[in-house]
A and B are shown apart, each in its own frame.
Chain A
């Protein structure tokens, strides 16, 4: 599909996108979401980007904090950016050592607030390593750095042409606020996750305060799901009139059918073993299923602070022989599991989107997912339960494992859902949002036709 050969009419919006490309070479999460959305938007609009660029030493220090000494600065400098914005004409970098996954250490929780399991992996050549702590050493320094970044970005913005400022999550939100203040252009903030999600509903530290102020100052908020929209409304008291949901897309993948390692069926969980992902509910569900049917194994791919407690719990419940924790797995290994699984379960307690469930759909696995997730809004083809309703989830798993008609139907319906889960759709929704709030004029009929033929 052509990227920049579309004639753009004068009424095509000029967007100043405040994006992410940190950490380098990580595949997934905020960086990918931002990148993929931008590429899709660039087909229909003029996109200019400002990206905070971290120097490799900063990255290394981060990794060192986690105790990964296998990567050195030299190696990192030589490794190119996997996801480059080559397709976007105007990309500006500002040196700013910022980490989008920063967590306020005062809350005492170091939770990785990414939506996809991929974010854990760093691939540097053939090395893979996991990032699971966020820089806590920078403390109050972060405030200063973010502010400085904001001012530098605003400075840069004066020399650029744009109609709309579009930021992603709170750090670039601050830059966006600065730019709006100085240029008077409208500010749109894309919300992938919030402090309240990351740290729990009682996280009301300065990050929360900043998010709240920023969202009040912004003209439009674009959460990745209605679920997150509710969080914005309920926990930040922002009126619904400002909220315009833009569901995430996903990159197409070539699925494959893997060979079974064992004769039993496999029920799979992929994700961080943290409170937010509901791993304790997964084990309760497993217990109930295994009480009735021993011909199934439960596999959890991922690691986190719940790793040891889960092992112990499984042993206590007497299901250790059918319950497996793989620990950290890289992308390829996760895909191998997906290629063999019979049922995918996502018991998240609070999930802004939940791309992992869509990955399961790409591999043709029927899914049982929590209603407290953004992805449940776009997957008709899935069986949904309230994350605490382990009885219902267990029943669903048993029905899927014992009824091929049901499994196939769910699989087929989910496959159809994939048609709508695309970044092109997301880009269209973003533009609809701009129009709805009158940040740009309505499309003329001719422009509509052009858009439709190009995308068909």
Chain B
């Protein structure tokens, strides 16, 4: 009985201003408020509202047979709270159907796992609270930022109590095996790894409107046929993608909403197939094999590794300096400063600095609000310089207060 598991990523960063060298020491507000608002509005209209409506409609139409899973980053939720509460409401409506599962991730959609496990845990906890607050769910399934995964990640997440974790189905680790089963990381006891079927996922997310594609235009029944083919050698089909696929990356004119509209019906035509949330699939399916991932993998670019964020000296240097501030930021204990520090951790900032100049370079450019990776790095480092000096000042004050308090105590 193969199950189709749809998982949608919903994320918006707090994009940074074009912060020049001359602003250091003068301007302490780093976000490009106007740009973030504009983009949020645009994506809300073109994607979130339309697609949520469609998904809700499909859930009702199929009377509980259609299920999906989401992960909403903390930064996205925060922006909905600030500017588009209507979008938040539409997600709440989805939650109320009982057919939608919300997953767990780091609040700031960050790379913190790679730098500070303590910070990572803090962000996961923050995120859990948000999900509980708005959707009344306590996530049982985890997905790390951009599906960054390894044996170590799986093991760590298992110890935090999750029953399942999502990751990319990487060819070089699968070998000849199919991603359409549940796997287990080499170092874990029972947490279940869900591997993305990137071929079928990317058919929808990337190739759907490509006129040069042999399968263009893609119809729901054709795709359903491909889905049905996994019967006999597969128990789960993990279709993981960015939610913006619907309406934003694939515009409405491409027919993506019609495709979505017909897809559940076409897939359900085969009596053996059903839709499950990740948790449901985890509960009903067993692990088939070990999937050994000693190094980090992700769902980004052709390499499916960390190179999208941490491959060049600019990315590495800025991340290093950022996380070097952890101790002082936390010692000071100022909520606002900690939040600023948290928002600077969003993986997008480093993604924009990537200089891999081949095919994937184009994808990076589309998403980047800046003219060049150098600009992204320059603005980020200027901001960091300003933030560092703020932290230095606050830390000095904090230490002198400590001294005074100590003196008082000893007297």
* Partner of B313 from A380, A396, A398, A408 at Cβ < 8 Å: A408
Contact B313 A399 (CB under 8 A): no
Contact A392 B20 (CB under 8 A): yes
Given contacts A292-B22, A395-B20, A406-B377, are A380 and B357 in contact (CB under 8 A)? yes
Contact A405 B21 (CB under 8 A): no
Nearest-Cβ distance from residue B355 to partner chain A, whole angstroms: 7
Contact B374 A410 (CB under 8 A): yes
Nearest-Cβ distance from residue B216 to partner chain A, whole angstroms: 27
A380 to B356, CA, bound (A): 11
Listed residue (A288, A391, A405, A408) with the most chain B CB atoms within 10 angstroms of its CB: A405
**B381 at the binding interface (Cβ < 8 Å):** yes
**Chain B residues with CB below 8 A from A180, complex form:** none
**A413 at the binding interface (Cβ < 8 Å):** yes
A405: nearest residue on chain B (CB-CB)? B317
Contact B314 A395 (CB under 8 A): no
**A409 at the binding interface (Cβ < 8 Å):** yes
**Chain B residues with CB below 8 A from A259, complex form:** none
A410 to B355, CA, bound (A): 11
Contact A395 B22 (CB under 8 A): yes
Q: Quick one: which of B12-34 are within 8 Å of A by CB?
A: 20-22
Given contacts A396-B378, A399-B378, A410-B374, are A391 and B20 in contact (CB under 8 A)? yes
Contact B377 A384 (CB under 8 A): no
A366: nearest residue on chain B (CB-CB)? B374
* Partner of A399 from B355, B357, B371, B382 at Cβ < 8 Å: B382
**B389 at the binding interface (Cβ < 8 Å):** no
Nearest-Cβ distance from residue A181 to partner chain B, whole angstroms: 43
Given contacts A395-B21, A399-B21, are A406 and B312 in contact (CB under 8 A)? no
**Chain B residues with CB below 8 A from A408, complex form:** 313
For this complex, into which size category does the number of interface residues on chain A fall?
Answer: 20 to 34
Nearest-Cβ distance from residue B360 to partner chain A, whole angstroms: 15
Contact B20 A384 (CB under 8 A): no
Chain A 373-397, CB within 8 Å of chain B: the 1/0 string? 0000000100110000001101110
**B400 at the binding interface (Cβ < 8 Å):** no
Contact B21 A406 (CB under 8 A): no
Chain B 361-384, CB within 8 Å of chain A: the 1/0 string? 000000000011010011001100
Nearest-Cβ distance from residue B315 to partner chain A, whole angstroms: 10
* Partner of A395 from B313, B355, B378 at Cβ < 8 Å: B378
Q: Quick one: which of B289-317 are within 8 Å of A by CB?
A: 312-314, 317
**A445 at the binding interface (Cβ < 8 Å):** no
Q: Quick one: which of B216-258 are within 8 Å of A by CB?
A: none
Contact A413 B355 (CB under 8 A): yes
Chain A 399-411, CB within 8 Å of chain B: the 1/0 string? 1001101101110
Contact B372 A384 (CB under 8 A): yes
Nearest-Cβ distance from residue B376 to partner chain A, whole angstroms: 11
A383: nearest residue on chain B (CB-CB)? B374
Given contacts A384-B372, A395-B21, are A406 and B378 in contact (CB under 8 A)? yes
* Partner of A409 from B21, B22, B312 at Cβ < 8 Å: B312
A408 to B317, CA, bound (A): 12
Nearest-Cβ distance from residue A255 to partner chain B, whole angstroms: 22
**Chain A residues with CB below 8 A from B355, complex form:** 409, 413
Chain B 321-347, CB within 8 Å of chain A: the 1/0 string? 000000000000000000000000000
A412: nearest residue on chain B (CB-CB)? B313
A391 to B372, CA, bound (A): 17
Nearest-Cβ distance from residue A411 to partner chain B, whole angstroms: 11
Given contacts A380-B357, A384-B372, A413-B355, are A405 and B22 in contact (CB under 8 A)? no
A292 to B21, CA, bound (A): 9
Nearest-Cβ distance from residue A291 to partner chain B, whole angstroms: 9
**Chain B residues with CB below 8 A from A405, complex form:** 313-314, 317
Contact A406 B314 (CB under 8 A): yes
**Chain B residues with CB below 8 A from A399, complex form:** 21, 378, 381-382
Listed residue (A380, A391, A409) with the most chain B CB atoms within 10 angstroms of its CB: A409
Nearest-Cβ distance from residue A384 to partner chain B, whole angstroms: 7
Contact A406 B22 (CB under 8 A): no
**Chain A residues with CB below 8 A from B317, complex form:** 405
A396 to B22, CA, bound (A): 10
**Chain A residues with CB below 8 A from B357, complex form:** 380
Chain A 284-308, CB within 8 Å of chain B: the 1/0 string? 0000100010000000000000000
**Chain A residues with CB below 8 A from B20, complex form:** 391-392, 395
A402 to B357, CA, bound (A): 26
Contact B22 A391 (CB under 8 A): yes
A289: nearest residue on chain B (CB-CB)? B21
A23 to B317, CA, bound (A): 51
A429 to B372, CA, bound (A): 27
Contact B378 A409 (CB under 8 A): no
A396 to B357, CA, bound (A): 22
Given contacts A391-B22, A392-B20, A395-B22, are A406 and B381 in contact (CB under 8 A)? yes
B385: nearest residue on chain A (CB-CB)? A402
Nearest-Cβ distance from residue B384 to partner chain A, whole angstroms: 11
**Chain A residues with CB below 8 A from B312, complex form:** 409
A403 to B374, CA, bound (A): 12
A413 to B314, CA, bound (A): 12
A288: nearest residue on chain B (CB-CB)? B22
Listed residue (B20, B372, B374) with the most chain A CB atoms within 10 angstroms of its CB: B374
A408: nearest residue on chain B (CB-CB)? B313
**Chain B residues with CB below 8 A from A396, complex form:** 378
**Chain B residues with CB below 8 A from A392, complex form:** 20
Nearest-Cβ distance from residue B24 to partner chain A, whole angstroms: 9
**Chain B residues with CB below 8 A from A384, complex form:** 371-372
A399: nearest residue on chain B (CB-CB)? B378
**Chain A residues with CB below 8 A from B21, complex form:** 292, 394-395, 398-399, 402
**Chain B residues with CB below 8 A from A292, complex form:** 21-22
Q: Quick one: which of A294-346 are within 8 Å of B by CB?
A: none
B320: nearest residue on chain A (CB-CB)? A405
**Chain A residues with CB below 8 A from B371, complex form:** 384
* Partner of A403 from B22, B372, B381 at Cβ < 8 Å: B381
A405 to B357, CA, bound (A): 19
A292 to B374, CA, bound (A): 21
A413 to B381, CA, bound (A): 19
**Chain B residues with CB below 8 A from A402, complex form:** 21
**Chain B residues with CB below 8 A from A413, complex form:** 355
Which residues from chain A sit less than 8 Å from chain B, CB to CB? 288, 292, 380, 383-384, 391-392, 394-396, 398-399, 402-403, 405-406, 408-410, 413
13 contacts across the A-B interface (CB closer than 8 A): A394-B21, A394-B22, A395-B20, A396-B378, A398-B22, A399-B381, A399-B382, A403-B378, A405-B313, A405-B317, A406-B314, A406-B378, A410-B374
Sample of 16 more A-B contacts, CB < 8 Å, known A391-B20, A406-B377, A408-B313: A288-B22, A292-B21, A383-B374, A391-B22, A394-B21, A394-B22, A395-B21, A395-B378, A398-B21, A398-B22, A399-B378, A403-B381, A405-B313, A406-B381, A409-B313, A409-B355
Query: Which 5 residue pairs are nearest across A and B when measured between Cβ atoms?
Result: A395-B20, A398-B21, A405-B317, A395-B21, A399-B378
